[in-house]
Chain A
Amino acid sequence: MKDVLFLAWRSVLYFRAKSIILITCLVIIIALPIFLNVIMKECELQLLSRAHNTPLIVGAKGSSIDLSMNSLYFSNDLPELIDNKSMEQINNSDLAESIPLYARFSARDYPVVGTNINYFKVRNLDLQYGRKFTILGECVLGAKVAEKLNLHVGDHIITSPESVFDLAGIYPLKMKIVGVLNTSHTFDDIAVFVDIKTTWIIQGLGHGHQDVTTIKDPSLVYQSKDSVVTATAKLLQYNEINEENLYSFHFHGDLSDYPLTSVLVFPKDKKSETLLRGRFVANDLNIQLVQPKAVIGKLLENIFKIRALLDTFIGVVAITTFLACLLIFYLSLKLRANELKTLFKLGCHSTTIKKLLAMEVLIISGFSIVICSFVWVIIQVFKEEIVIKVIEQL
């Protein structure tokens, strides 16, 4: 048997081009369905687990998919905005706990998610380092953000402008990192969390500046008439919030009118959920209440339709590739007819020749399986990142 193995091994090495082609074909046939299966399962798991953990979402009337994708996975598609008032109404109803979300801005290509600290509780997010944000301008990083950008507690991260052409726009805000979350294997790993009020400051709805009533520099005052002080554009507005300038930051108008992308709603019980849904269906306000489970379920139905199509396609490709492999074997046997005849003339039994050929097939299949195992492990390691990229594109 050792002799057969030796001869088969030498043959595989000698016909290395043929062996590599066969191994590649087999790896593709085996790995492609595995890859798709693992990714689809992970995709389903990610989409459904977050949807299941979020009973209701309140947002502006419009695309329920955009609303759910932005609220659950912080997608770039910004839904229509709603007032902070909507959240206060839910809180005052005493039927549910509500968590505001304002996922509109980004910092170094990662979404900046404005929320409150209850978000960490409902998503079961624990801190790896540091603490939760306590004052305006502080942020907590998802595990992957901290890892990829090599940022630690005490470092700073600067928000990105919404548009590069917005030259007269709002200054980017330099935010202090006060905590890093544990890996959760969800979209929370790739987000920067701040207090909802910090996102309003990023948007320019709140600001901090020198006290106009006490400034001595006349170049900062444009006009002071009838108790109205008009400052010039030279007036310093702060782009970083710290203990010294914290109290100069303020918001104008009623915070109830400030924007949110959505509100995550966690009803106290089934009855409260029904009552809340009834209230939102009954009124004709410009807001809608969606059940992410149903929305994502529909989205997955479409994905599964595509998957069925893909499975058929892969099946056809697999059969074709398998036939091509058989053809390669057949042609290779034809080409090696003289070599095999010589072996026979040298006294090699026909059974031994068959064993030799079978061993060659086994070696090639064995290599293919080993490579597929590596591919499987690599998919397992990177599946979350792949799925996050896939969901971002949805």
Chain B
Amino acid sequence: MHRKYFTIPLFLLALISCNTPKEKNREVLTDKKTVFVSNYPLYYFASRIAGDSTFNFIHPEFNNTASLAWSPNAEYVAKLQNVDLIVFNGAGFESWKKKYSLPTSIIVNTSLSFENELIKVKEVETHSHGGQGAHAHYKTASTTWLNFSHALSQAQAIKEALENLNPENKPLFEKNFSELKSQLEVLHKEMKQVALRAKEKSFIFSSVQFEYLKSGYSLKGHTINWSSKKAINDHMKEDFKQIQGNLKSKYFIWDSPTTEANLSFLKSQNIIPIILNTGHASSGDFLEEMEGNIQKLNEAIDLGTN
């Protein structure tokens, strides 16, 4: 009998409790801030500026040029949504970012300061479908750091982003950046001297990765778009001869080591092959590899002059 008297209040209580918000989940954060960097040159700049153990850096695998073609999967992006800072190269390097959802407020585009100097290259043939008119797909050349003044701007952008993230270490970042800056300035100066020596010479570039080297130091030449992994076929040889007819170049710059057969063909055409590092992780660090590039160019010019 008494149970009846409790039924109504209990029912009312149950109805109200259905309406009470649930306790919110809370994420557990670690003390060390996590920074994502999208390529090796940026990682090098960031780690040089940050010094020891200030941040936890995450990045794609830096195994040769593949980082240019790297794209994350949905799980990796879910991880990126929780980092403290995302350092992008910009200039179309992270072409995958248009396909994914990232927190824009923590993204730093390191090429923003020189976006008017970015170089567009045609990617696919013009096509037309549906109600849209004919349109071609273009992409932006991404290897901005091969122009060392751009590389310096990118390092500057990274320094500012790290300072915002960790203001108490500002003097350390400033000191480390200043060292890096002077080293990049030396490289820039050396590369300018190479360009001066190559003033009357022209080059054939294997890929659009050299666009910033070409434009930054006013190197004359033509980009042929050959993959170093692919054997040179008859059609390619025809193209080469046509280009060479106008250009009369002595130098062919590859973006990675190529096959013996390809090297033999170039030698048969009296061409000096030069293999440059376009900024991927190798036995040396970024500065050593770039210094190596300058040395190779100087040696090739010496060889071509003699």
Contacts and interface: CB of A to CB of B under 8 A. Distances in A.
Interface of A: 91-92, 97, 116-118, 121, 124, 126-128, 131-136, 138, 182-185, 195, 197, 207, 209, 212-213, 222, 227-233, 235, 237, 243, 246-247, 249-252, 255, 373, 377-378, 380-381
Contact of B128 (A97, A230, A246, A247): A230
A213 B99 contact: no
B4 interface: no
Contacts of A212: 125, 127, 129
A91 B16 contact: no
A373 B105 CA distance: 49
Given A246-B99, A255-B98, 5 more contacts: A132-B81, A134-B77, A197-B98, A249-B99, A252-B135
A116 B21 contact: no
A235 B130 contact: yes
Contacts of B264: none
Contacts of B105: 91, 97, 118
Given A132-B78, A183-B21, A252-B132, A377 B12 contact: yes
- Chain B, interface size: which category? 35 or more
Contacts of B77: 134-135
Given A250-B137, A255-B98, A229 B125 contact: yes
Contacts of B19: 380-381
Nearest to B124: A213
Contact of A117 (B71, B73, B98, B102): B102
Nearest to A132: B81
B270 interface: no
Nearest to A212: B127
B292 to A, nearest CB: 34
12 contacts: A116-B102, A116-B103, A134-B81, A135-B101, A182-B22, A212-B125, A222-B128, A227-B126, A229-B125, A237-B130, A250-B98, A373-B12
Which 4 pairs across A and B sit closest by C-beta, in order of nearness?
A: A231-B129, A134-B77, A195-B101, A229-B127
Contacts of B15: 377-378, 380-381
Contact of A230 (B22, B78, B127): B127
Contact of B103 (A117, A135, A228, A247): A117
Among A116, A135, A182, A212, chain B packs the most CB atoms within 10 A around the CB of A135
A222 B98 CA distance: 30
B98 A251 contact: yes
A380 B16 CA distance: 7
A117 B22 contact: no
A209 to B, nearest CB: 6
A370 to B, nearest CB: 8
Interface string B74-86: 1101100100000
B24 interface: yes
Given A381-B15, A381-B18, A228 B132 contact: no
Contacts of A250: 98, 137
A386 B19 CA distance: 14
